[in-house]
Amino acid sequence: MIDQELRNIYLREEKRQNGGIELIASENYPSREVREACSSILMAKYAEGYPEHRYYGGCVNVDAAENLAMERAQKLFHCRYANVQPHSGSQANYAAYHAVIRPGDKVMSLILNDGGHLTHGSPVSFSSEMYRFVHYPLGEDGRLDYDVIAKRLDEENPNLFLAGYSAYPFAIDFRRMREIIDAHNAHAETPCLFMVDMAHIAGIIAAGLTQNPCEFADIVTTTTHKTLRGPRGGMILTNREDLVKKIKSAVFPYAQGGPLEHIIGAKATCFAEALEPSFKEYMEGVLRNTAACDEELRSLGCVSSGTENHLFLLDVLASFGISGKEAQAKLEEVGITTNKNMIHGDTLKPSECSGLRIGFAAATTRGCTEEQARAIARLMFKVLKGAISQDEAKEEAAGIVSTWKDVMTL
């Protein structure tokens, strides 16, 4: 049977992706090998439990695939243990919390409007219902203020300190955070554990282009898509042997049932790709392109955050007098996909926002160059300024994309 109705939807989406400029910082295009693994025969196998300790028979081959994924993840991130079963980053965070703290314990995370994730204590997330969240702010310059973090730790005495963000454009000093937490724990009644959600910057870390939190944190979570360029899924890492059993039981059977072994196979492929020298070259290209677009927009008079990683925040309210919601819609009309985002000190409500979050992981995968990143910045400026017609903007965007690889041939 051919489901033509659904096939037509696939074809429309393929056309949209091939013809568009994808600048959503959390999106990327996995390789053909990763996509093939996602639809492999492993999909048909139920495998509750862990390798060599399953609740079902016939798991010898999925055991081998999962062990391979774990071994590659451990090598990639220089850690002793990797749990590759979480279905998503949110699932990984859910299980990680359960592994190291108890319901009602206090967690300190970044103020959500400054770049945190829903699972970092949002009122609409399980996290705020199960745990008591308190927050630390960014400094006036929009960067982490480590002195303020140290002060907040002593004031609040949390059970867990959480770092790692969804919309923070600068490098994070995990070493300094570890030192601050250790200094706090030296006189605190209750020791504070250190957790990092590295979902957004996992690819940069894998490429060795920024600090590896696995060296400093007690527990680390991540997604395997975004900058890591793998399948949609999650993972938990640690170097603490005493946490391994707790992490295992927190993922299964506490948080979820049977693992998605076909996705785990795709994770193994993704990790192998990220271990290749070409991945570091790719990630260096992402950083160059992101910086080039940000610099070009600022040279045109726009207000933006600056960047030290794969994303930056464009203040469209200050730059163009429109909301992030309106800017997102204007760009999407000409084939440039972004997402509205809160910025530091935002005066608009979350449904409107003052900013756009812009990243170049996906565009770089398709072949975007630094020169093209600057051309994209100029095109965005003209669209948001109302200085170009839709037809002209679409034609200009199509000219940029015409040199790129199609998403299905990657």
48 as an active site residue: the answer is yes
403 as an active site residue: the answer is no
Let me know: does 30 contact 37? Beta carbons within 8 Å.
Answer: no
46 as an active site residue: the answer is yes
Measure the CA dihedral 333/338/340/344, to 10°: -140
Strand, helix or coil at 269?
helix
Distances in Å between the Cα of 305 and the Cα atoms of 144, 231, 343, 354 are: 13, 29, 9, 12
Amino acid identity, residue 165? Y
Catalytic residue among 36, 48, 105, 156, which? 48
Q: In what order do the strands lie in the sheet with 81-83?
A: 81-83, 234-238, 219-223, 193-197, 160-163, 106-110, 132-136
Amino acid identity, residue 233? G
- Name residue, tokens 């756009």: 356
Catalytic residue among 46, 75, 240, 280, which? 46
376-402 in b/e form (b: 16+ CB < 10 A) is bbbbbbbbbeeebeeeebbebbeebbe
Output the furthest CA–CA distance in the chain (Å, rounded): 67
Catalytic residue among 152, 226, 340, 357, which? 226
Beta carbons within 8 Å of 198's beta carbon, 6+ residues apart:
164, 205, 213, 220, 221, 222
Count how many residues are written for the chain.
410
Let me know: does 211 contact 174? Beta carbons within 8 Å.
Answer: yes
273 as an active site residue: the answer is no
Amino acid identity, residue 92? A
Cα-flanking dihedrals φ and ψ of residue 150, to 5°?
A: -60, -40
Q: Is 226 left (phi over 0), alpha (psi -120 to 50) or beta?
A: left
Let me know: does 221 contact 58? Beta carbons within 8 Å.
Answer: no
- Name residue, tokens 């000409």: 334
Catalytic residue among 143, 176, 232, 280, which? 232
Catalytic residue among 22, 197, 218, 273, which? 197
Catalytic residue among 223, 227, 238, 364, which? 223
The alpha-helical segments, DSSP class H, found in 190-257 are 202-206, 241-249
Distance CA 120, CA 163 (A): 9
Question: Which DSSP letter does residue 405 get?
Answer: P
Question: Which DSSP letter does residue 138 get?
Answer: B
Let me know: does 21 contact 336? Beta carbons within 8 Å.
Answer: yes
Among all residues, which ones are annotated catalytic? Answer: 46, 48, 197, 223, 226, 232
